[in-house]
Amino acid sequence: MRRPASRNLAVLAVTAALVSVGAAAPPEAAPAENAPAKVPVAVGYGGAVASVDVDASAAGIEVLREGGNAVDAAVATAAALGVTEPYSSGIGGGGYFVYYDARTRSVHTIDGRETAPLTADSGLFLENGKPIRFADAVTSGLGVGTPGTPATWQTALDQWGSAGLGTVLAPAERLARDGFTVDDTFRAQTASNEARFRNFPDTAKLFLPNGQLPVVGSTFKNPDLARTYAELGRKGVGLVYRGDLGKEVVATVNKPPVDPFSGWNARPGKLSERDLAAYRARLQAPTKTSYRGLNVYSIAPSSSGGTTVGEALNILGHTDLSKASQAQYLHHFIEASRIAFADRGRWVGDPAFEDVPTRQLLSQKYADSRACLVKDDAVLTSPLAPGDPRRPAACSTGGTAAPTTYEGENTTHLTVADKWGNVVSYTLTIEQTGGSGITVPGRGFLLNNELTDFSFAPANPAVHDPNLPGPGKRPRSSISPTIVLDRHNRPVVAVGSPGGATIITTVLQTLTGFLDRHLPLVDAIAAPRASQRNAARTELEPGLYDSDTRAALESLGHSFSLNPEIGAATGVQRLPDGRWLAAAEKVRRGGGSAQVVHPAP
C-alpha cells in the first residue's frame, strides 16, 4: 500500500475503518504513525471518498473535514491522483464529471474530454493514404489532444464548489512536494513503460530516478508538479489555456523533446495556442434510464458510456436477474452488452459533429426491439449488426457490423459524497498507461494520447464511422460515471471505473450485481468480471474463466478468452439511516481505498 510521507495529511485524513496499520515502510519513506490504512470498504458520517489510492482518498477526506463539499473534495482527490496515479490521470488529460445536487435533487454533468486540433481532419493518422502504426501514434505528439482536466476542475468549482482552486489543490501540492511511498503497482506500471520513458529525457529524469526503476517502499517526490499546482492555485487555469503553461504544452507537443540517440520517431503534433484558448468544458444534460423503479444517470456523448450502459439496462429489464442462475444471469448480461456495443459503434460520436440519436438509443421502445434477439438457449454471433434507433424494427439484424475499436485501459475513477448529500462520480484519464510518454519539461506531468481513441480509418468502409477525427472534435469515450437515484430522486448508489471500453461492461455488471443480485456494494465491485464488446469472444477474469460457470456458458455457445484484470471500480452508497458506505477494489490494481469523515462504531 502507499502511505503519505507527509504527517499533516495523514493525521487530517484518518481511515474510515478500524484496522491496524501494516508493516512500516523503509526509513527513507518516514510514514506517519497514524497514516490511514488501505481498506476497500468504510461506513460512517460526514461524507465519503473512494478511489484507487489511499493518499488521494485522504486528500478528499481532508477537504471534507475542513468544510468543503463533494465537488471540492472530488477535485482535491483528482489532483492527488495526478501525483500518485500519474500514468492514469493528471492535468495533461481529460475526463467526465457527474454531480448530484442534494438541494435541487438534480444531476448535472461536465464533458471535459480532450479535443483534436482545429486543423485536424479525418486523415489525422494517415500517411500516404494509410493509417500509421498504432504504436507510432501512441508515443507521439500527434496523439495529444487539448487537455480538458484543468477546465473541468474550474468549471465544477465555479458551478457547484464552495472553495477556490488553490485551496483544493493544496493537499496534492503537499503530497507532490513531500512524496508518497512507492508500491508494487506504481513500480510495475513504470516498468511496463520503461522503454518508452527512456526515449524522453524529461520523462526518464522524473520517473526513472538515477536511471533506475523506483524501488518499492521508497519515497517518490515530484517537486515540479508541486510547483505547477502552486502556480495553478495562484493564477487559475488560464495558465493552461491562455498563459505560459499552455505555451509550454504546445511547444512540447509540436516538437517532442525526444532523446536524439534513442532512434524513436516521435511524430510532432499539431496543437496550437488557439486550440487551448478555444477549449471549453461542456456543461450538458445527463443521460437518464429507468431501471427497476430507479433513475440511472450518466454521461451523454461524446462518451458512449451513458447510452450504452442505459441501452443494456433497458434490454435487461425484460429478465428477472435476481432469480436467474449465475450462468443465465451472465448469459443475459453478455448478450445485452453485445447488442449495446453493436449500436454504440454505429451511432455514437461527438454530437457537435455527428447526429447522435441519444434519446432514441435510450428509449424502451428501441430496447424492446433489440431485446427480442436474446434467447435463453442460444448465443448471438459477433460482430453483430447495429439496429436503427430512429426506426425500430423488432429483432432486426439488418445493417453492416463494425468492430469495436481499441481504447487505452488505464484511467482512474473516484466517487465522493458529502454531509449535505451531494455526490460526485468522476472518471479522468490520460488514455493508456503512461499516456503519450511525454512529460512537459519542468512541469511534472505527462501528456495524454487521447486522440488515439479516434478511428484511424473507418472501422467498416461500408458505413459511416462517427468516430473519425475532425477539427476540434472529441474522440468517443467509454467512460461511464453513474449515479442512481430512487423514485424520490434521492441517492441510492454511485459507481464508475477505469478500463477503456471495458468501463461500460464493468459499470453494467457492478450495477446489476448490486441492484439485481443484491450483492453488498464492495462485493459487486469485487465480483469476477466478464466483458463482451461485440467481439467473437467474451473476456473473462480468472475467477470466471476457471469456474464451472464458464462450462455452462460454453454449452450455450459462448466463446471466451482470459483477461487477467478488468477495470478497477469505486462507489458510494447512501444507507437508510443516513450513513455513507464507500467501497473500492479488494485486489485489482493493488486494491482501492475507501474512507469516511467520521467512521461509524
Phi and psi, residue 107, nearest 5°: -115, 135
Distance CA 7, CA 30 (A): 9
Q: Is 433 helix (H, G, I), strand (E, B) or coil?
A: coil
Hey, what CATH class is 283-408+461-587+595-599 in?
Answer: alpha beta
Which residue do the cell numbers 435510450 mark?
362
| For residue 2, pLDDT beyond 60 | no
pLDDT at 35: 52
Q: How far is CA 364 from the centre of its chain?
A: 27
Q: Parallel, antiparallel, or unpaired: how do β-strands 560-562 and 538-540 relate?
A: parallel
Residue 540 contacts by C-beta under 8 Å, 6 or more apart in sequence?
528, 529, 530, 550, 560, 561, 562, 563
Residue 135 contacts by C-beta under 8 Å, 6 or more apart in sequence?
none
Mean pLDDT computed over 447-473 = 92
DSSP 37-91: P--SEEEEEEEEEEES-HHHHHHHHHHHHTT--HHHHHHHHHHHHHHHSTTT-ST
Grid cell listed for 72: 471540492
- Band (pLDDT 50/70/90 cuts) for residue 21 is very low
Contact between residue 524 and residue 514 where contact means Cβ atoms under 8 Å apart = yes
pLDDT at 600: 80
Structure confidence by residue, pLDDT tens digits, 408-440: 567 899 999 999 999 999 999 999 899 999 999
pLDDT at 463: 83
| For residue 4, pLDDT beyond 50 | no
| For residue 23, pLDDT beyond 70 | no
Q: Is 530 helix (H, G, I), strand (E, B) or coil?
A: strand
Per-domain residue ranges of the chain: 283-408+461-587+595-599
Q: What percent of the chain has pLDDT over 90?
A: 89
Annotated active-site positions, please?
411
- Band (pLDDT 50/70/90 cuts) for residue 28 is very low
Residue 16 contacts by C-beta under 8 Å, 6 or more apart in sequence?
36, 39, 42, 43, 44, 48, 61, 582, 594, 595, 596, 599
Which residue do the cell numbers 507527509 mark?
6
| For residue 483, pLDDT beyond 50 | yes
DSSP 112-136: E--B--TT--TTTTEETTEEPPHHH
Distance CA 83, CA 206 (A): 12
Mean pLDDT computed over 450-466 = 89
Mean pLDDT computed over 234-260 = 98
- Range name among 140-149, 361-370, 461-470, 490-499 with the lowest pLDDT average: 461-470
Q: Average model confidence (pLDDT) for the chain?
A: 92
pLDDT at 399: 72
Residue 205 contacts by C-beta under 8 Å, 6 or more apart in sequence?
none
DSSP 211-263: GSPPPTTSEE--HHHHHHHHHHHHH-THHHHTSHHHHHHHHHHHS----TTS-
Structure confidence by residue, pLDDT tens digits, 148-172: 999 999 999 999 999 999 999 999 9
pLDDT at 25: 30
pLDDT at 462: 79
Structure confidence by residue, pLDDT tens digits, 273-329: 999 999 999 999 999 999 999 999 999 999 999 999 999 999 999 899 999 999 999
pLDDT at 206: 98
Contact between residue 156 and residue 72 where contact means Cβ atoms under 8 Å apart = no
Structure confidence by residue, pLDDT tens digits, 519-573: 999 999 999 999 999 999 999 999 999 999 999 999 999 999 999 999 999 999 9
Mean pLDDT computed over 190-203 = 97
458 cis-preceded (ω within 30 degrees of 0)? no
| For residue 96, pLDDT beyond 70 | yes
Distance CA 247, CA 244 (A): 5
Phi-psi label, residue 431: left if phi above 0, alpha if psi -120 to 50, beta otherwise = left
- Band (pLDDT 50/70/90 cuts) for residue 474 is very high
Which residue do the cell numbers 508493516 mark?
23
Structure confidence by residue, pLDDT tens digits, 31-48: 333 457 899 999 999 999
pLDDT at 366: 97
Which residue do the cell numbers 438457449 mark?
377
